Amino acid sequence: MTDMVSTGPNGAGSAASAGGSLPEETMRELREITARYPQARSALLPMLHLVQSVEGRVTSRGIEACADILGISAAEVAGVATFYTMYKRRPVGDYHVGVCTNTLCAVMGGDAIFERLKDHLDVGNDETTEDGKVTLEHVECNAACDYAPVVMVNWEFMDNMTPESATQLVDDLREGKEVHSTRGPRICTWREAERVLAGFPDDRADEGPAAGPASLVGLQVARENGWTAPESGRRSVSGRARGTAEAAAEAADTRRAEAETKLDRSPADVEGGKGSNPEADGKGTSE
């Protein structure tokens, strides 16, 4: 398998994908990922993340490797890789900086942040700085509207940003300073983050909270006021399922009892409309 040398946003070729096959260690880990799933094809998404962790993007040879391991066509793999925006076909810098420009973030300052960073970094959308440090992209909703405007660096949140703080952020990243998300975790490189998304933990899952204070305000107010969800009398899904199973068992018992009753009665008794009890039928009594 060979891979064409691609040209990056600034005209530089990608040496990592100049040709040949993926490293044997990467091939082994790709196969390891498939073993996690009952259907091997389900492993394609994390496999593509692993390719990005090695190649810095989804390369042609990475697509071919995934296709070979899964027994599907390269076109099918490429279809997935080009459908999801988290997979990149052009080289990504050490830090992928995504500025949310969806409605709320935009009106809260996201558009201004994005324009400032484009000018400051001298790049356009989905382009990388000449030093290969930062790739800038405007992204859709990051599901953190309570902290708008939001910027993400390699998928870690940077909340309540301004054009000034965003400029300082990218300067620190380019200078190699240690940068932490506003929620705690240290910002790792793009390739390190991609390896985690492929399912290989970096043992840093406990850095930072799972949700910030603004996201928990509603829960806090409810607890302070003793508010709980109303008891509507509805049974849980498991309760309904249990009730359905019990009803089915009762119906089966009824049908079985009816069948046994029919077996106890002779054909003659059934034809004559008589039961199987001699005393009830007038038999066995003294004249």
Q: Three-state SS for 215?
A: helix
Residue 256, pLDDT score: 64
Segment 195-242, tens digit of pLDDT: 999 999 998 888 876 677 888 899 999 999 999 988 876 555 555 555
Residue 213, pLDDT score: 82
Residue 231, pLDDT score: 82
Read off the pLDDT of each residue in 9-37 and give the average, rounded to a whole number. Answer: 74
Burial of 113 (0-12, 13-18, 19+ CB in 10 A): buried
Residue 214, pLDDT score: 86
pLDDT at 193 over 60: yes
Q: Give the start-end residues of each E strand in 65-204.
A: 95-100, 127-128, 134-139, 151-153, 156-158
Peptide bond into 149 cis (omega under 30): yes
Alpha carbon 164 to chain centroid, angstroms: 32
Residue 2, pLDDT score: 36
Q: What band does 244 get if pLDDT is binned at 50, 70 and 90?
A: low
Alpha carbon 118 to chain centroid, angstroms: 29
Read off the pLDDT of each residue in 260-287 and give the average, rounded to a whole number. Answer: 48
Provide, rounded to the nearest whole percent, the portion of the chain with pLDDT above 90: 64
Read off the pLDDT of each residue in 243-256 and give the average, rounded to a whole number. Answer: 64
Read off the pLDDT of each residue in 124-132 and give the average, rounded to a whole number. Answer: 96
Strands 95-100 and 134-139, how do they pair?
parallel
Enumerate the domain spans of the chain: 15-83, 95-189
Q: Which CATH class is domain 15-83?
A: mainly alpha
Residue 159, pLDDT score: 95
CB 162 within 8 A of CB 113: yes
Q: What band does 277 get if pLDDT is binned at 50, 70 and 90?
A: very low
Provide, rounded to the nearest whole percent, the portion of the chain with pLDDT above 70: 74
Alpha carbon 272 to chain centroid, angstroms: 70
Segment 46-78, tens digit of pLDDT: 999 999 999 999 999 999 999 999 999 999 999
Distances (CA, A) of 204 to 101, 140, 183, 193, 207: 29, 26, 13, 11, 6
Supply the mean pLDDT for the chain. 83
Helix (H) or strand (E) holding 64: helix 60-70
Architecture of 95-189 per CATH?
3-Layer(aba) Sandwich (3.40)
Q: What is the pTM of this model?
A: 0.70
Burial of 200 (0-12, 13-18, 19+ CB in 10 A): middle
Distance CA 125, CA 116 (A): 12
Please, which residues bridge with residue 95 across strands?
134
CB 151 within 8 A of CB 174: no
Q: What band does 138 get if pLDDT is binned at 50, 70 and 90?
A: very high
Distance CA 176, CA 182 (A): 18
Distance CA 9, CA 20 (A): 23
pLDDT at 263 over 70: no
pLDDT at 10 over 90: no
Q: Does 283 or 110 have the greater pLDDT score?
A: 110
pLDDT at 184 over 80: yes
Q: Does 192 or 250 have the greater pLDDT score?
A: 192
Q: What band does 20 get if pLDDT is binned at 50, 70 and 90?
A: confident
